[in-house]
Structure 1
Amino acid sequence: MAIEETSARTGLEPTPREKVTDPSPGSHLDEQKLKKYYIGSIDQGTTSTRFIIFDGIGQPVAQHQIEFSQKYPQPGWHEHDPREIIKSIEECIEVAVEDFVELGHEISDIRAVGITNQRETTVVWDSNTGEPLYNAIVWSDTRTSALVRTLKSKEGADELLNITGLPLSTYPSSVKLLWLLEHVDPVKKAYEEGRLTFGTIDAWILYNLNGGKEKDLVVTDATNASRTMLMNLHTVEYDAKLLDFFGLDGKKLRLPKIVPSSSAHEFGHFAYGPLEGTRIAGCLGDQSAALVGQQAFTPGSAKNTYGTGCFLLYNVGEKPVISKHGLLATVGYHFGGKREPVYALEGSIAVAGSGVKFLMDNLGFISHSNKISDLAATVEDSGGCVFVTAFSGLFAPYWIDDARGTIFGITQYTEQGHIARATLEATCFQTKAILDAMEKDSGHKLTELAVDGGMSSSDLCMQTQANIIGIPVNRPAMRETTALGAAIAAGFAVDVWKEFDELKEINQKDRVIFEPNITPEQSAKMFKRWTRAVEMCRGWVDTDEANGDF
């Protein structure tokens, strides 16, 4: 979701200042050497796919991006065509590699490729043919609402959070798999006959890029596996107790092998195309990849990615912290070898850039998403409007499944600019709620928030974010941090980088800091109004509507 900066003079005028980080005399970064190394990165997101080739200092050299089809067959349903996703990856690689060669490089200069992907999105395919048995069910899909309510009343449900780090919701992959088994006959039949393979998008991509059925590679990394609700967060292995709770027979269902996020051997090689024979050496769920791309390698560091949704991850170290305040516990990254997995607390917001897309596609407020800041800057503030963008319920830290998108405070004074500003503010308010929960869980207050993703390009949005959370917001000059994280995982596996100290210096130059420029009292007043709006949006969907009976 590309959103450009605005220089409009408003009450929340951006006040960024440059922060240039020069390599210190003892720098670990050999720039001349690293500029000769190249790592590819497949970034398979919710609405688009891109392939970026980075050099060894983390700068993009060549790239290509395309959008693919979004399918909404019923209210609350969201699907992708698994075949189209693979085709989009193939096209992006072909174009980016062609550009790379035109710049005078050799394909053999690309030492490895990493993958980062939308998480929780669920694919099932026939183990015998390699063909998908249904569309991919996207992470934001809410068709499982009634199923989740049933599961919450089941014996053992109260133990799941401590085992998986995840609350029962429509979010994890496991409940999507159960829906497929209950409602799609070819899936149910394949399961009964022992030929059903289940995977998240990363597993589907790796399976296909390695040649599909011929190589028959079915693997996933620890960050993606931790989002299925089938993996024990403490052991980083599938748990028989979890499979039993969801009624799944491990002998009938093929699950991907769980491996570290950075590995020279586990992810195989390209079986075809311009990168045929090139090693795939890294794999991270998109939000974990952004954590790595922001070099958040020390406990207490955090990042917030403003994409289709918005996801804030906070590094808690080598032992998981199970949240008591509505957050998720997840694997942040696992670089293998003798290293332990690094865990994170996570706050997930379902709607961020997709809220901007809603104003553009559904309401016609703007002709392109990058115009949202200009529209929002036509007014001094939101004019009393609060937009709770609960299109699929509210995620962390609220977890309100029966909420729906609601705009409060509309009067005859309200203009499009007020609603545009309220749309940007919605993500900022939810980020504030997540940070408050993280402070309670960790016992530490964040002193600065690193940001990336499409919406972070808006100075107005980032200044608003700094004002609402009351701490500086730190934005890198090169904001493809999710793709960079996957490239770092792959490069680390093939010794482009060997020490974390080297990685900490990547993409640190020319960052911009947004300092709060309103009083804490003003910020508290805004957040209080948001909190009241959240409470008022509860209970909008009744049981019949959640089951699809309108």
Structure 2
Amino acid sequence: MSEKYILVIDEGTTGTRALIIDKDSNVKAQAYTEFEQHHPAPDRVEHDAMEIWDKSVAMIKQALAEGGIAPTDLAAVGITNQRATTVAWDKATGQPVTRAIVWQDTRTADFVEEVRDEWAEKVYGRTGWALAPVYSSLSLHWMMNNVPGFKTRADAGEIAFGTIDSWLIYKLTGGKNHAIAASNASVTGSYDLINDEWYSEWLDFLGLPLSMFPQVCPDSGNFGTTDPEIFGAAVPITGAIADQHAALFAQGCIEPGNVKVTHGTGTFLDMNIGPEAKISQNGLTTLIAWRMNGETTYGLEGYAAVTGSAVQWLRDGAEMISNSAESEAVATSVPDNGGVYFVPALAGLSAPYWDSYARGLIIGITRGTKRAHLVRATLEGIVYSMKDFIETMRKDSGVNIQTINADGGASQNDFLMQFQADMLDVEVVRPSVAEATSLGAAYMAGLAVGFWSSPEACFAGQSVDKVFKPNMTSEERDQLYAKWTQAVNRSMEWAK
């Protein structure tokens, strides 16, 4: 085909990236900018959806210009995004009704406790998600009851809901398409995995009209065409996939039992479990990994919400480091953690604890504690958070996980990768391209238009950067983890 590139919009929790990717999986050009994080209260995290849209368009234009690439050279557009963030907009004007409620937001924690006895088991058995504030349906319920005029307009069919992929698709198509990728639908806490439809019984209980909800579409398929006035060409949008699912695919985890970990704002461990939706028996999340060519692949996930953002807190809040990359050198300047443990529960604890009231805790400080011990404890805390749910994943899947593919910005930290191999007792493989989420979106879009002929063709241009092998005794591993477990228990229910 004459078109040479795939345009990817990679919409993270803290910033917007546009990338131009060729058939060999090379990034030919990219542009990135952060957007504002709004914290109107300690338990709230919000985004301005119009700011996200405006910066997305700006980054697309910048990437095209820097790469010297004409919009007509684009074969397709792929989108990958932060998950479960709730956007609501006016169907007539295309303007947001209120700020987007971000997946890290915990304002619905009290309501979760109110309905837990009646609904926790039912929604987990249908949606695959443990009942928690991350549910988009709960964020919508909050909007219905707290944003002036929202309920009246929603009941009248005037308001549209979507995750960030839905919002971008709507804006890119000039308001023509209200759609959501199957992968994103499955992480809203609103989708019935068993019956493959929006979970109407739960939504009825919450008073949420189905008229707000988008059409669920395959992750690799037709989402419409870009309005040529936006960046100069009518380009098919043929890929949209949630960020962790995109990374799972891009890491080549296309067979049941394949596992990857992504270190971003949070840390996400995902396993391909094949064509059947098996609900976890141990608090992990079951989700749609992707849907393409009429087939659905499911996944198991464990995640810790605050890991990379804990390193950001070291930089911006505690001001212990000047940049995230500095954390490795500081951490390795001491031989061990000095007995210090940092539980990064800055937004509660997720799998397998699901405690919205847990809070960050640093314990073990003595007069000999230095800045380096605190930095090292933060990096180690990321890995301990993973260990909390990897054993659960082994039990749920029946797979003895021996190799994990690692991606995301923090995967470039060699200390973190080695400690991960040591504590999890696995081989950690780091690819040459760390931003797997972007590649996954490119592959979804490209496969739909024949840019790549098969998944294997997608992966052909990839290579491995480094392999980390475990080098720790089981006795040392158990001792370290036992102290971590004590620290976690002390952090739980602190804000209740």
User: If the TM-score is normalised by the length of the shorter chain, which range does it land in?
Assistant: over 0.9
Question: CA-to-partner distance for each residue in 1:224-256, whole Å, 9 max, x for gaps?
Answer: 001112211133321322322323232xx4211
Q: Equivalents in 1 of 2:132, 2:464: separation in Å? A: 40
Q: Which runs of 5+ in 2 are unaligned?
A: none
User: Secondary structure at 2:30's aligned position in 1?
Assistant: strand
Q: Equivalents in 2 of 1:375, 1:469: separation in Å? A: 23
Alignment of 1:450-469 (within 5 A): 450-469=405-424
Q: Equivalents in 2 of 1:482, 1:500: separation in Å? A: 15
Question: What's 2:170 paired with?
Answer: 207
User: Secondary structure at 1:50's aligned position in 2?
Assistant: strand
User: Secondary structure at 1:325's aligned position in 2?
Assistant: coil
Alignment of 1:218-367 (within 5 A): 218-250=178-210, 253-263=211-221, 265-335=222-292, 337-338=293-294, 340-367=295-322
Contact 2:225–2:234 under 8 Å retained in 1: no
1:261 aligned partner, one-letter code: D
Contact 1:270–1:279 under 8 Å retained in 2: no
Question: What's 2:10 paired with?
Answer: 43
Shift of 1:194: 2.4
Alignment of 1:99-178 (within 5 A): 99-101=66-68, 105-154=69-118, 156-178=119-141
Q: Equivalents in 2 of 1:171, 1:76: separation in Å? A: 12
- Which residue of the other structure, out of 43, 51, 58, is the alignment partner of 1:91? 58
Shift of 1:191: 1.5
Shift of 1:275: 4.4
2:194 aligned partner, one-letter code: H
Contact 1:219–1:258 under 8 Å retained in 2: yes
Contact 1:462–1:473 under 8 Å retained in 2: yes
Contact 2:76–2:238 under 8 Å retained in 1: yes
Shift of 1:160: 1.2
Question: What's 1:389 paired with?
Answer: 344
Q: Equivalents in 1 of 2:384, 2:288: separation in Å? A: 25
Question: CA-to-partner distance for each residue in 1:255-300, whole Å, 9 max, x for gaps?
Answer: 110000001x333324423243011110001111111111110000
Q: Equivalents in 2 of 1:159, 1:365: separation in Å? A: 44
Query: Are residue 186 (structure 1) and residue 186 (structure 2) matched?
Result: no
Question: What's 2:439 paired with?
Answer: 484
Shift of 1:499: 1.9
User: Secondary structure at 1:425's aligned position in 2?
Assistant: helix
CA pair 500-248 structure 1, distance change in 2 beyond 3 A:
same
Contact 2:223–2:239 under 8 Å retained in 1: no
1:114 aligned partner, one-letter code: G
Q: Which runs of 5+ in 1 are unaligned?
A: 1-32, 543-550
- Count of residue pairs brought into register by the alignment: 496
Q: Equivalents in 2 of 1:176, 1:39: separation in Å? A: 33
- Which residue of the other structure, out of 521, 537, 541, is the alignment partner of 2:491? 537
Question: CA-to-partner distance for each residue in 1:183-229, whole Å, 9 max, x for gaps?
Answer: 111322312332121111111111111113xx2x1000100001112
- Which residue of the other structure, out of 32, 38, 42, is the alignment partner of 1:65? 32
1:438 aligned partner, one-letter code: M
Contact 2:6–2:75 under 8 Å retained in 1: yes
Tell me how large the CA RMSD over aligned residues is.
1.5
User: Secondary structure at 1:282's aligned position in 2?
Assistant: strand
Shift of 1:470: 0.8
Q: Equivalents in 1 of 2:325, 2:107: separation in Å? A: 31
2:9 aligned partner, one-letter code: I
Q: Which deviates the most, 270-279 or 226-235?
A: 270-279
- Which residue of the other structure, out of 441, 447, 457, is the alignment partner of 2:402? 447
What TM-score do you get using the length of structure 2 for normalisation?
0.97
Q: Which deviates the most, 233-242 or 126-135?
A: 233-242
Contact 2:169–2:223 under 8 Å retained in 1: no
Q: Equivalents in 2 of 1:530, 1:163: separation in Å? A: 33
Contact 1:124–1:187 under 8 Å retained in 2: no
User: Secondary structure at 1:482's aligned position in 2?
Assistant: helix
Q: Equivalents in 2 of 1:121, 1:222: separation in Å? A: 15
Q: Equivalents in 1 of 2:482, 2:382: separation in Å? A: 15
